[in-house]
């Protein structure tokens, strides 16, 4: 089952299986600033993967939670005043403690001020950026093709994980294309938010952030395919993909991974 070293299409799935095993063994704490729509689903997805979520956005508390966490997720959905304040404090606390953090600039294509805030956050050095094509376009001002992605990753020293029909994960030097997943994933709210939370969990247990990001999207994509075979629609799919992440084993992940 193990592929020769150096073959990307086999190396990443193998690494993803290893990352999944580490999630279960280490149960990394992931502090999530995320929107009210996504909180419950995100927490359940993290628990299913083996991670331990916390969610407070209280300015009085968040620095302590970040200090005690293994990674931070900053999701800009439903970005109200309190969340904005929480983001500032949390990112400062993460930087000070040397913790990795992940940015998900939800809907910045719909909200220019939020896009400005996201651009300012990029200067505070997130480890990874998980977003969709419209959001990447709003953030970068460039196209959403591989070249634009790699340029942006290089300039900002960030791993870009771009969700789409095919997911792209690039760090400026390496790029992976993941074609797992199912159309139902776009019909469940907060699926992208949960993907970003899994990215945060994976960068907590894998030093190579590019591999960590690819592992997170592979895990979710393969789980999505398994769930789609069970589900009768987006309602049951939401529960089934959590079940599938929980039950996923490394062997299945390696067998079903479609990476190029």
Q: Which residues contact a copy of itself by CB under 8 A?
A: 35-41, 43-44, 47-48, 53-61, 64-65, 68, 77-82, 107, 110-114, 187-190, 230-236, 238-244, 246-247
Q: Which residue, 158 or 188, has its beta carbon nearer to a copy of itself?
A: 188
Q: Which is nearer to a copy of itself, 15 or 185 (CB)?
A: 185
Q: Which is nearer to a copy of itself, 205 or 241 (CB)?
A: 241
Rounded to a whole number of angstroms, the minimum distance from the CB of residue 207 to a copy of itself is: 25
What the block records as the tokens of 93 is 């606390």
C-beta of 197 vs 215, nearer to a copy of itself: 197
Least Å distance, CB 252 to a copy of itself, is 14
Give the residue with the Cβ less far from a copy of itself, 143 or 235.
235
Q: How far is the CB of 69 from a copy of itself (least distance, A)?
A: 9
Cβ nearer to a copy of itself, comparing 9 with 59 = 59
Which CB atom, from 208 or from 243, has the smaller least distance to a copy of itself? Answer: 243
Q: What residues have CB less than 8 Å from 200, skipping those under 6 apart?
A: 30, 32, 71, 72, 73, 100, 101, 102, 128
Closest approach of a copy of itself to the CB of residue 123, in Å: 21
C-beta of 243: minimal distance to a copy of itself in Å? 3
Distance of alpha carbon 95 from alpha carbon 87, whole angstroms: 12
Shortest distance, position 85 Cβ to a copy of itself, whole Å: 10
Supply the minimum distance, in Å, between the C-beta of residue 247 and a copy of itself. Answer: 5
Q: What is the 3-state secondary structure (H, E, C) of the chain?
A: CCCCCCCHHHHHHHHHHHHHHHHHHHCCEEEEECCCCCHHHHHHHHHHHCCEEECCCCCCCHHHHHHHCCEEEEECCCCCHHHHHHHHHHHHHHHHHCCEEEEECCCCCCCHHHHHHHHHHHCCCCCEEEEEHHHHHHHHCCCCCHHHHHHHHHHHCCEEEEECCCEEEECCCCEEEECCCCHHHHHCCCHHHHHHHHHHHHHHHCCCHHHHHHHHHHHHHHHHHHHHHHCCCHHHHHHHHHHHHHHCCHHHHHHHCCEC
């Amino acid at each position: 089952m193990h592929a020769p070293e150096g073959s990307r299409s086999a190396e990443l799935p193998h690494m993803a299986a290893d990352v999944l095993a580490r999630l279960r063994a280490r149960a990394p704490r992931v502090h999530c600033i995320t929107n009210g729509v996504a909180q419950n689903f995100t927490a359940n997805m993290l628990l299913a993967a083996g991670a331990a979520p916390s969610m407070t956005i209280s300015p009085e508390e968040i620095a302590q939670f970040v200090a005690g966490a293994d990674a931070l997720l900053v999701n800009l959905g439903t970005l109200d005043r309190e969340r904005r304040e929480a983001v500032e404090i949390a990112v400062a606390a993460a930087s000070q403690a040397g913790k990795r953090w992940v940015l998900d600039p939800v809907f910045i294509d719909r909200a220019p001020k939020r896009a400005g805030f996201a651009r300012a956050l990029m200067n505070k050095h997130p480890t990874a950026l998980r977003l969709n094509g419209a959001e990447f376009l709003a953030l970068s001002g460039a196209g959403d093709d591989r070249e634009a992605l790699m340029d942006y990753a290089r300039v900002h020293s960030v791993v870009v994980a771009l969700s789409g029909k095919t997911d792209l994960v690039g760090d400026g030097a390496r790029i992976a294309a993941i074609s797992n997943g199912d159309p139902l994933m776009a019909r469940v709210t907060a699926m992208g938010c949960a993907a970003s939370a899994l990215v945060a969990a994976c960068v907590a247990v894998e030093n190579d952030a590019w591999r960590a990001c690819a592992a997170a999207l592979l895990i979710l994509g393969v789980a999505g395919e398994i769930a789609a075979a069970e589900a009768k629609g987006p309602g049951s799919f939401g529960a089934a993909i959590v079940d599938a992440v929980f039950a996923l084993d490394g062997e299945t992940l390696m067998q079903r991974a479609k990476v190029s």
